[in-house]
């Protein structure tokens, strides 16, 4: 997937946190340890450094939601992270993103911390980020 395609899909999936731009995807994809998995209906972007993986972002097109796509992408992220040597994985999720929190909980991620006011909503509100972790 091109940075432009990733940005378009991300924009269809997010308002908070703000959607990432093509240039941001391009920079991330050129970074060591970064990988992307998926297709036009959804993708996951991750990074492995040493023995730790970070799920940087995941996006599923609105018309492809509630069909197991997110669950499959998380599983693919974990498989790829393990193949790259990761023993643990972590991610950040907006505290008010109930569907994503349910997805990660079902996948075995547990609360490891909170970043107060980390995200900015379009209306200016501040939203906490929950840091979730899982042993792979």
The number of beta carbons lying within 10 Å of the beta carbon of residue 35 is 18
Catalytic residue among 92, 109, 118, 119: 92
User: What are residue 71's phi and psi, to 5 degrees?
Assistant: -60, -45
Q: Which of 104, 109, 118, 119 is catalytic?
A: 104
Instruction: Return the ∠ at Cα 33 (arms to 29 and 132), rounded to 5°.
Output: 95
92 is catalytic: yes
DSSP element (H, E) containing 79: helix 69-83
Beta strands in the chain (DSSP E): 34-39, 42-49, 52-60, 88-94, 110-120, 126-135
- Residues 126/120, Cβ–Cβ less than 8 Å: yes
Residues in the chain: 136
Catalytic residues: 92, 104
């Amino acid at each position: 997937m091109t940075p432009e395609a990733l940005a378009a899909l991300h924009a269809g999936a997010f308002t908070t946190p703000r959607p990432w731009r093509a240039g941001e995807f391009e920079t991330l994809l050129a970074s060591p340890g970064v990988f992307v998995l998926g297709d036009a209906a959804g993708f996951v972007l991750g990074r492995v450094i040493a023995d730790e993986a970070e799920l940087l972002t995941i996006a599923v097109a609105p018309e492809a939601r509630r069909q197991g796509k997110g669950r499959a992408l998380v599983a693919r992220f974990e498989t790829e992270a393990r193949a790259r040597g990761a023993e643990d994985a972590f991610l950040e999720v907006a505290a008010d993103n109930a569907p994503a929190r349910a997805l990660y909980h079902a996948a075995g991620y547990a609360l490891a911390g909170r970043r107060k006011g980390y995200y900015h909503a379009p209306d200016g509100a501040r939203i906490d980020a929950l840091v979730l972790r899982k042993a792979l």
